[in-house]
Amino acid sequence: MSTIKLPALNDRETTILTAIIEKYIESGIPVSSGYIKKYCGLNLSPATIRAVMAALEQKGLLTHFHTSGGRVPTDVGYRFYVNATHEIIGSYDPFSDNMKQELLTIVNNVDELLNATVLMLAKVSRMFGVISVSGYQRSILTDIELVSLEGNRMMLVLALDTGLVKSIVLNLDLDIQPSLVAKITQVLKDRLIGYSLKEIQSTIRVRLNDIEMYSHELVQVLVNDCDKYFDLNRNESIYTSSYDILLEQPEFQDLTSFQRLLPALDKEYLNQHFQENFNAHSGHTLIGTENEDKLLNDCSIITTEFNSDIIKGRIGVLGPKRIPYLTVQSIIEKFAEIIQSAL
C-alpha cells in the first residue's frame, strides 16, 4: 500500500478544507467559495476564502474540473480529512431492535450470521459490503464425509460446529470400492468427530495408526497432508453483498465505469486485496490510489477488525471516494460489535 505524504495546514486551511469535503460528500457537486462564505459562518472575505482554496489546491488537497468551477477533494485531501477526524466517535446507531434480533437469532451458525450481516451492512450503508475471515480460533468437527467422484477423485466434506461446511477434492491414483469408502468414512467419524481442527492436525496419525486401512492411499493422503485438509486458516472465507447497490452512486451510474470496476468485486480478488492490504498494523481505510490496483483507484474501502472466541477478520464497505467516512465508519464499528458479541 502506498503512503501519501500530507502537507501541514493551519487552522483556517483545515476548517475550509473540512467544509469543502463534507459538502462535496453530501452533494457530489464541486464546492464554490460563495458556498463557504454563505454557509460556513467564517468571518472572512470572499477574496481570502478564494486565496485559501488556491493554497489548498497548490498543496495538492483540492482540484477543479473547470477553471471557473468549484473545488473537489483529491485523494490527498480525503486522506487529510480521514486522518484529522478518525478519533471522532460517531454516534450513529444503524440498528433497530428488529435488525439486532434478526442477527442474534442465527448465532449458532457462523456462515449464516456473516452472510446476513454483510447483506444488512450493505442495506444500511448503501455501499458494497465485505467481510473477510482471516482465522478460525476454534472449530470443532461435527461431521465428516467422503464422496466418490468421477475419474478417481474423492470429495472430503467437513462440517464444523460454527455452521461452516468445507469441501475439498482429492485426486487419487486408484479406484476405491464404495464399500471401502464407507468403511473409511465411518472410522474417520468415530476417531475425529468432536475434536478441534487443531487437535486433529496434531494427533491424526496417532488416532488412525491402529486401524486396518491405515496404509491405504486415501488414509495416507489425509494423514500426510492433514495441515492442508484440516486447516481453515489457509482457506480464508469472504462474504460480499450484491454489487447492484453501487449503481445508486452517481460515480458508478456510467455503465462503462461500472463494468471496469466489476472484476475488483470478485470474491477471490477482494479476498487477496484484503489479505495483502489490511493487517493488525495497517490502517482501516484505503482511499483512491492508495489501492495500488488501478481497478480500485476511484474507490475507497473502509474497514475495522473483529475478533471473537471463534473467528477473527475484517468487516468493511467499498464505495466511491465521496463516501461519508465518519458515518460509515460508525456503522461498521457497530456491525463489528454485533459479530463479536454474537460469537
* 274-300 confidence digits (pLDDT tens): 888 887 666 789 999 999 889 999 999
Band of pLDDT at residue 259, cut at 50, 70 and 90: very high
At CB < 8 A and 24+ separation, what contacts does 258-264 make?
Answer: 260/295, 261/295, 261/296, 261/298, 261/299, 263/295, 264/293, 264/295, 264/296, 264/299
Q: What is the pLDDT of residues 231-249, one digit of tens each?
A: 765 545 899 999 999 999 9
> Cα(first)–Cα(last) distance of the chain, in Å?
31
Domains and CATH numbers, the chain: 11-85 (1.10.10.10), 97-137+235-342 (3.30.450.40), 141-232 (3.30.390)
Tell whether pTM > 0.75: yes
The three-class DSSP label of residue 154 is strand
Identify the pLDDT of residue 134: 78
